[in-house]
Amino acid sequence: MSLIDKVLSRRSIRAYAKKSIPTPVLDNILEAGRQAPSAGNRQPWHFIVVTDEETKEKLSWGRVNWFIKDAPLTIVGCATDAGNWSSMNTTIALQNMVIAAWAMGVGSCCLGAFKEGDVKRLLNIPDNWKVVALVTFGFPAEGENRFPENFQDMRERLTTKKPIEEIVSFNTYQAP
Ligand SMILES: Cc1cc2nc3c(=O)[nH]c(=O)nc-3n(C[C@H](O)[C@H](O)[C@H](O)COP(=O)(O)O)c2cc1C
């Protein structure tokens, strides 16, 4: 599959196979983050790879993040609190990881559902770092609906993409 097919076929994966991610695959995912662009090349990020079962359990407290405990690992993306672009840079690095992972068959889901204070305490993250996002990674569970039962009421909203004409205009802004 070509890279463009990989980018276009990526979808958030919330059901994971009970299979760990081989070290060379994880190394590539992390390297894809390391090679991401950043303003002034400041690389204002730190990534915590959470594999510990008890820690994953503690991170999975709610309806929209319960699958953290099922994923073999979750990467917690942190940004320095200095500089306007640090969160954006870190987000871009995480997305590089997401695409690299999918290119190797590893699914992921970006999570905004976290309590920053709790995550910082749990993972010993110093005060001068922000938590930007959590991203679960793992091989998709075979035959399982990537959209689990308890998400069905949100299915339409979470899976429908706006038409291209609505989100793009050329040269000047044009209302859809
Ligand atoms: C910043 C951000 C936060 C998100 N937070 C959550 C979340 O807390 N729980 C969840 O299940 N999905 C979360 N998602 C995944 C979105 O629901 C998903 O990207 C969206 O529905 C589009 O579906 P797709 O990724 O399959 O294309 C988040 C995505 C982004 C980019």
Name the band, by pLDDT with cuts 50, 70 and 90, for residue 81: confident
Among 92, 7, 10, 1, CA closest to 43: 92
Tell me the pLDDT of the chain averaged across its residues. 94
Between the alpha carbon of residue 67 and those of residues 18, 76, 87, 108, 158, the distances in Å are 12, 15, 24, 11, 16
Q: How far does residue 12's CA lie from ligand 1's centre (Å)?
A: 7
What pLDDT does residue 73 have? 98
What pLDDT does residue 72 have? 98
Q: How far does residue 57's CA lie from ligand 1's centre (Å)?
A: 20
Task: Return the residue whose CA atom lies nearest to atom 3 of ligand 1.
Answer: 112
Q: How far does residue 155's CA lie from ligand 1's centre (Å)?
A: 12
CB contact at 8 A, 136 and 21: no
CB contact at 8 A, 132 and 87: yes
Among 83, 102, 84, CA closest to 94: 102
Q: How far does residue 107's CA lie from ligand 1's centre (Å)?
A: 13
pLDDT tens profile 18-37? 999 999 999 999 999 999 99
129 token code pair = 């770092």
Name the band, by pLDDT with cuts 50, 70 and 90, for residue 151: confident
132 backbone dihedrals φ, ψ, rounded to 5°: -90, -50
* 16, 69, 109: residue to mutate for ligand 1 pocket, most atoms within 8 A of CB: 109
Mean pLDDT of 5-23: 95
Rounded to two decimals, what is the model's pTM?
0.96
